[in-house]
Structure 1
């Protein structure tokens, strides 16, 4: 007998689970299908090095989830399900080759004192940016939680115009539309301060000279100043596990080891899915895919169900450079050359400067292993001591940015052109760089686990080429253009097939927003749905014209 649910969700990433939770909360009969043995997608934790050492496999900074709408609405119940967060009031720092550092605390005065000691001009620039952030947070940040286009977004923009007036709003918008190099040059004097925020850009796919790259660093830097950095206590898997509990309490199901091989369609409508074992599961109302466009449309949806013009649009979807994850079990946290309290910080960025970041990004885009990649060093156990059963420590290292496919090595040292062979020597290069800034750290390593860009994609097909943010966030593929012009509101050309995840607005980050907004779209009344589709068609034509001019 064929099973039938109101909605079938493909992929148990945090956005897919969020969409399922909102649907189940409205009384829908929901089934979530996940190919892996645990839910979570890129929000997972595991014993990667030693027994009892719990590493966040991909994502670790959970600030966006803590500040999300889903946590605001379901926070009490999520806590009852076991979800808790450990917060660091020392969110991030940058270290430099001369033993210097710049540190951002969850303390406005202490942070300003650090800037003032480094450079009075940098301190003044930091103060100005903090004031601008206050204006931005009040007027434009609400757009990050609203569908684009929408009446709500229109009201937010009108309110922003009333508050700032057109000239003030245009002036304010210049900050997030800048590149990170432009942002640094406009507000800071020293190369150290300029690199401080530019490093955040490379967490996504914003090399220092990419327009629009300043928005994420601008938001992340001052959010960390205000809120610190939070990790899930006991491991990132606590988030999908708690979401799963809430779904099941509402009668929904979350099935693992259940890989979908096809989205079934009939007469232009999604009717359900087929699994690898041939099982068919029907959907009365909706199929929601927590998948990137190429995974969904190239692998699961039959060509005959899609217009040829849309297929061409899918082919133009772009992914960013790859990422390597290195997980270390240590007998002690790094003894940083810059000293003082650096071993207590949640994140330590190692660049060291904007030009090196630019060289790294350019090398990766050209298929070259960078000579000196940026390192995001997460000192997990400095924030959450529960991650190890003894006095051991955990280090989480994100290596940005790397080529998805290797054509050569910028340093001329690694001959391998496949990640199976190149991963180990590249990891050694990373640890050599870390040793320069934290002498003796190599001697503290008990075990290591390396995940190359190819490994990331093998674990999670949404991370195409090891792109940890599921698609480039450059201006031509962001905002109204994410994932495509005219399709920014979670619909697809196939009726009753919807999408959510990092490839949809508002993009990467554990904010659960696209899952929430996608569920709202699914729950929209028929008349409202027709209005949305009409607006999408109109805006899509306009957005396509603008995108062509940007290209």
Structure 2
């Protein structure tokens, strides 16, 4: 009880654990405090439906995980993490049994888009080939001098343009436009907003480099590997240790919070400068998520056979349909036909479901804090492109925004992105500053998805924050 720690990390999501590992690698003594009974934050895996069906509670597929500069530098394979790849990273299904396929090969992806093959190569070729350099810029603080300005400028010219304009300007086929729109919709923004293309390209480019992997055994394997490596370095993790005030922390040098910015404002109170506390507490919220997990009696019978081999399936029709659905959720309405993101991990990982069965994961975007049940709308969309899907359902687990928030306080109102990315939300995370991980109190730091680069399982918020701490108070 009398131990003094160089750093206490609050929260054991991938960012909190990445911060802890970075600090421990630098020789600092580190304690991680987790309020729940298990570690993981957005990387937990549970039997949500039936025994033997292992579902990812939040994140399931990791486009930015396999090539993460943080994860890639650590020996996580020796600590149990094994990345698995589907034959096809992404299929965007369309009416009539068609689909746009994002393949590992840029050339094969382009050829599959027919008349838009050359346009796809023109747009994606320079970005995919330079993704390692782009990752350095995209996965770090935005407001800084770039290390690769020419490459970043090429990315920025297309990226700053709204996805609706880029789709019309570059592509003539429904397939190519839908492929871009579906990836842009991961932003939780209307697709006519600036920077939506940047977020789409940042997902599509790594598909041609490191892929869109899943973790064998479920996303909890990522947390387990990080915890194992942290303990190897001498760090400690304590679960069932909620932090409600700074008084709940043991003696320490600095505290690094893997919490929502507003939650940190409530915990730290007057220990933060007033302007910072107000900025954190007033952080603009994005739409929420409504999630369903299914135990199925077999694989999803997609009309398009290639979709049956994909890691992720975007379900929502053409680019105009996707744009319309996303615009409605931002305006506080639920569309009749939502854009649905589906992951089918058991196609590549037999540990996820009993033999012959399938575990399926899916969600749609809803207005912040929505209480409307979207189960039927989601299942109707899947049935539209996979007739007979409903007949395969053995059990389902439904998580509306309120339950998502109850399970993880970092997701208030079902907002799983750490705050809206609208306006300056992508750049000013969690406030407009050159030091996004600092709080104005040198003993308190923030490393959650509320900081750059935002949501996703990549650990980069934690890694960036820890490096800032090591350059400052723990130098």
TM > 0.5 fold call: yes
Q: Does 1:311 align with 2:277?
A: yes
Query: What pairs up with 1:53-452 in 2 under 5 angstroms?
Result: 53-75=53-75, 78-116=76-114, 120=115, 122-134=116-128, 137=131, 140-150=134-144, 153-157=145-149, 160=150, 172-263=155-246, 273-274=247-248, 280-283=249-252, 285-297=253-265, 299-302=266-269, 304-338=270-304, 340-399=305-364, 401-406=365-370, 419=371, 422-423=372-373, 426-452=374-400
Runs of 5+ unmatched residues, structure 1: 264-272, 275-279, 407-418, 530-551
SS, match of residue 235 in structure 1 = coil
State the match for 1:462 in structure 2. Answer: 410
Cα offset for 1:173? Answer: 2.0
**Structure 1 residues 109 and 171: CA distance shift in structure 2, 3 A:** closer
The Cα of 1:111 is off from its aligned counterpart by: 2.4
Do 2:106 and 2:121's aligned partners in 1 also have CA atoms closer than 8 Å? no
Q: CA deviation at 1:525?
A: 4.9
Answer with 1 or 2: which has the greater Rg.
1
Matched, 1:505 2:474: no
Relative contact order, CA 8 A, sep 6+: which one is greater?
A: 2
Distance change (3 Å), C-alpha of 1:364 and 1:171: same
Q: Does 1:51 align with 2:51?
A: yes
Q: Is the 8 A contact 2:363 2:378 kept in 1?
A: no
Superposed CA RMSD: 2.1
Partner secondary structure for residue 504 of structure 1: coil
CA contact (8 A) 1:136 1:172 kept: no
Q: Which runs of 5+ in 2 are unaligned?
A: none
TM (norm. structure 2) is: 0.94
Question: Displacement of 1:192 after TM fit?
Answer: 3.2
Cα displacement (A) at 1:136: 5.4
Sort the Cα spacing of 1:438 and 1:145 in 2 relative to 1 into closer, same or farther, 3 A.
closer
Displacement of 1:171 in angstroms is 5.6
State the distance in 1 between where 2:164 and 2:36 align: 40
Query: Which residue, out of 467, 470, 473, partners 1:520?
Result: 467
Match of 2:61, SS state, is coil
Relative distance call for 1:154 and 1:381 in structure 2 (3 A) is: closer
1:214 Cα deviation after fit: 0.5
* Contact 1:404/1:454 (8 A) holds in 2: no
Alignment partner of 1:501: what SS? coil
When the two structures are aligned, how many residues end up with a matched partner?
475
Runs of 4+ in 1 over 6 A off after TM superposition: none
Query: Is the CA contact (8 Å cut-off) linking 2:61 and 2:312 kept in structure 1?
Result: no
C-alpha distance in structure 1 between counterparts of 2:40 and 2:135, whole Å? 26
Structure 2 residue aligned with 1:471: 419
